[in-house]
Chain A
Amino acid sequence: MNDLITNKNVPANLMDTSAWRGAYMLFKKELFRFWRVAFQTVASPILTALLYLLIFSHALEGHVEVYKGVEYKAFLIPGLIMMSLLQNAFANSSSSLVQSKIMGSIVFVLLTPISYVQFFCAFLAAAIIRGLLVGFSIYIVAIWFVNLPIMHPIWILAFALLGSALLGTFGIIAGIWADKFDQMAAFQNFVIMPLTFLSGVFYSIHSLTPLWQTISKFNPFFYMIDGFRYGFFGQGDISPWISLGVVSAFLAALAWLCLKMLKSGYKLRG
């Protein structure tokens, strides 16, 4: 025990490695946290997505053909995967943060040498993993029912990663900002839900009036879903490169804001 007391000048580089080990541990803890309640965090979103698939495909099959040669069921699946992926990436970081703030257990992380950048990376990585896991699980279940092509896997992967990163970051921001569970619920119901539902999960924006088409183009979720869908069918409402640019720019802006909040200690360190 005395070794530590006398050895007070820890070399800077050693300090950094051990702090990154700390960040890795925080990431692991975040994974562990949602995996402990996997029924609620993974199984339940899969079931919800399948219910959407069942109901909408039953109601609309044969009535709608969005892309030539693509049955509606198949069209719907990428949208549902992306919607669940986004919602779960957001839920992971936001609910973990708001809960540990309310419980007070956030203090155990704040007392450690983990830096604000490392804090951000740990929460973000865990949110991405949860998003991808839920999305991938829905894909695995859905392909039993529907014949789903994969034209450009790289685009699929790129948008899945960017989308979960974007919403994971958004979740950290919301988690830092919210002081109560109902504020978080309001965030989810009044911001995340409308943006996802109005982004073209269930339809192509070409089926909308010009006004609503224009409005949809201000919704960042539209680009994530359209780009993701392009990866499956090789066709979309707009070029995937434009979507990539818009989503990356949004991610960069949100990450900048989030890091700024964390650096200043906003609502975490008074």
Chain B
Amino acid sequence: MTVPAIQINNIHKQFGDLRALNGIDLHIQQGEFFGLLGPNGAGKSTLINLMAGLIKPTQGNIAIMGHDTVSDYQAARMSLGVVPQELVFDPFFNVREMLRFQAGYFGRGRENDAWVDEIIEELGLTDKTNTNMRKLSGGMKRRALIAQALVHKPPVIVLDEPTAGVDVELRQILWAFIKKLNREGHTIILTTHYLEEAETLCQRVAMMKDGNIVALDTTVNLLGKLPGKNLRLQLGEASLPTALLPMLKTGENGVFTLALTELNQVEFALSELRKAKVNVLDMQLLEADLEDVFMSLVGSR
């Protein structure tokens, strides 16, 4: 049996009085595309910082590709590439210098240049290799950060909110590249606020809240847990008949979304609307998505 890419055993982390993580257990297999979801303050970044050895656990242990992050930290860090959430950069260097130095910190020399060139090209940084990090736009800085995390060809790649504040074009370039890396055998761990991203990309998802994992399953199974669909009604000026209020999920600007547990509720909703003489301007039947699962587990909006 192959070693898991990530093995998290009973991890606790306390910052003063704040219990950031309360006993997390999580195994991620090699080659997985794994999503870590949760609201701000759920403990996602704390967990990532622990994997990266940037902070020390209060209790428990983590192994990356079988290497303990404390006792065997050098091998653990060789196996891990982390894209931090913040747009941090070293203002003294241009993109290529920065990547050469970063590869050098991992003990890699000129033999690694071909790989660095490949990342530069894949991420669309070719025109910017001689540009100082300070002079890059936000999107370009983000690309450079991703390149920086990959210089040592880590088998496990962690992306902490990589698409926060990133435009659509870059998001597509990014995902195409990450998917390619995943196909080539890299394990990908992703945290994101964009649930639709996790839905389309991740095979498995962990949802976190208040330092605990509240759901851990394949994306398909999680979506299956909520068999219901959503009915979206556009009613214009009219208000929703009171009989339908218990089903109401959201409602603003005359657009109401009703949560259905069974399909025959559509008929019920329509008859109630007819009785109230409400004119339906538009109507859509939508599948439940990860956001619904997320909201049902993590709480109300």
Contact = CB atoms under 8 A, between A and B. Distances in A.
A108 B82 CA distance: 9
B3 to A, nearest CB: 7
A17 B107 contact: yes
A103 B92 contact: no
A112 B92 CA distance: 19
A8 B92 contact: no
A2 to B, nearest CB: 5
Contacts of A109: 105
Interface of B: 3, 15, 30, 49, 52-56, 65-67, 73-75, 77-80, 82, 84, 86, 88-93, 97, 101-102, 104-109, 148, 153-155, 184-186
Contact of B56 (A15, A115, A269): A269
Contacts of B55: 269-270
> Interface size class for chain A?
35 or more
Interface of A: 1-2, 4-5, 8, 10, 15, 17-22, 24-26, 28-29, 32-33, 36-37, 100, 103-105, 107-115, 265, 269-270
Contacts of B80: 111
B86 A104 contact: yes
A28 B67 CA distance: 29
B15 A270 contact: yes
B82 A111 contact: yes
A25 B88 contact: no
25 contacts: A1-B153, A1-B184, A1-B185, A2-B185, A4-B153, A8-B66, A15-B75, A15-B78, A21-B107, A24-B104, A29-B104, A32-B92, A37-B92, A100-B90, A103-B88, A103-B91, A104-B84, A104-B88, A108-B90, A112-B105, A112-B106, A113-B74, A113-B106, A270-B15, A270-B55
- Prevailing SS type, chain A contact patch: helix
A33 B74 contact: no
- Prevailing SS type, chain B contact patch: loop
B104 A107 contact: no
A110 B54 contact: yes
Nearest to A24: B104
Interface centre among A15, A19, A21, A108 (most CB of B within 10 A): A108
Contacts of A103: 88-91
Interface centre among A19, A21, A111 (most CB of B within 10 A): A111
A28 B104 contact: yes
Kindly list the 3 A-B residue pairs having the minimum CB-CB distance in the complex, ordered from nearest: A18-B107, A25-B104, A104-B88
B23 to A, nearest CB: 19
A113 B53 CA distance: 10
B185 A29 contact: no
Contacts of B93: 32
